[in-house]
Amino acid sequence: MSKKTNTLAAATSNQADLLVAQTLVQTYPQLPITVDCVIFGFEDNELKVLLIRSDLAVFKGLWSVLGDNVQSDEKLDEAATRILKERTGMDDVYLDEIGSFSELNRHPGGRVVTVAYCSLLNIKHHQLKITANELHWHKVSSIQEMAFDHKQILDAGLRWLQKRIQEHPLGFNLLPEKFSLRELQNLYEAILGTTLDRRNFRKKFASMGLLVDTKEYEQDVPHRPGKLYKFNYEKYEKNKRKWIAIDF
């Protein structure tokens, strides 16, 4: 058999295999997939989340996280980025996939599986360019009931955030360039949802050697001015493989 004949036979076999695979996929259930984005922010010593009004009558008056369908020609990560931009106008937000939600009755219209993404950003550095459906920041502590299963998704996002902030010092991106230890502790307490021992908190961060004393103090504060520090990002980058999770 010639080389040309072998090539033709292989191509025919591949086409047949592809047809079998396509026919098999056509027998699969047509299951809608959505992406939901839980966007956290920190402002005025409060952990906040971006929410919009649900446009379904069955959820009238309730809030939901940012979500939409995954299109047939895009990957999940692409869908999350697209949805966030369409809903907020922001296109410079890093999103982390945190899990899927597939309860049979999670959507009143039928079976829908969703994949959740999370992000934590500095509200002052990310301006909302779109505010349709009353999109705005809400205090996480004030949220009780939400549309769909979005309260469960929000809670999962919060657990992700609490784990992340102890594993990596991402919280420093939410603070001013120069910050006090009081501001740093307020940040961790807001995200972890608990009161931390002041002495123990400061001792842990001092032992890391990543805070730089600026020799400056807070100005115009209603309490005794505290020292201002900077986070040593360069030192962290060099030693991040040795970073040990903060256990409060």
**How does pLDDT run across 17-38, given as a tens digit for each residue?**
777 777 776 776 789 999 999 9
* Higher pLDDT, residue 234 or 11: 234
**How does pLDDT run across 41-65, given as a tens digit for each residue?**
998 889 999 999 999 999 999 999 9
Q: Judge whether 248 and 196 are in contact, CB under 8 Å.
A: yes
**How does pLDDT run across 61-108, given as a tens digit for each residue?**
999 999 999 999 999 999 999 999 999 999 889 999 999 999 999 999
**How does pLDDT run across 133-192, given as a tens digit for each residue?**
999 999 999 999 999 999 999 999 999 999 988 888 778 888 889 999 999 999 999 999
Q: Which CATH class is domain 33-166?
A: alpha beta
pTM for the predicted model, two decimal places: 0.86
Q: Judge whether 236 and 243 are in contact, CB under 8 Å.
A: yes
Q: Judge whether 39 and 93 are in contact, CB under 8 Å.
A: yes
At residue 19, the pLDDT reads 76
In angstroms, the CA 181 to CA 12 distance is 69
Note the CATH architecture for domain 169-242.
Answer: Orthogonal Bundle (1.10)
Pairing of β 46-53 and β 63-64: antiparallel
Q: Judge whether 66 and 52 are in contact, CB under 8 Å.
A: yes
Q: Judge whether 66 and 157 are in contact, CB under 8 Å.
A: no
At residue 4, the pLDDT reads 56
Q: Judge whether 97 and 117 are in contact, CB under 8 Å.
A: yes
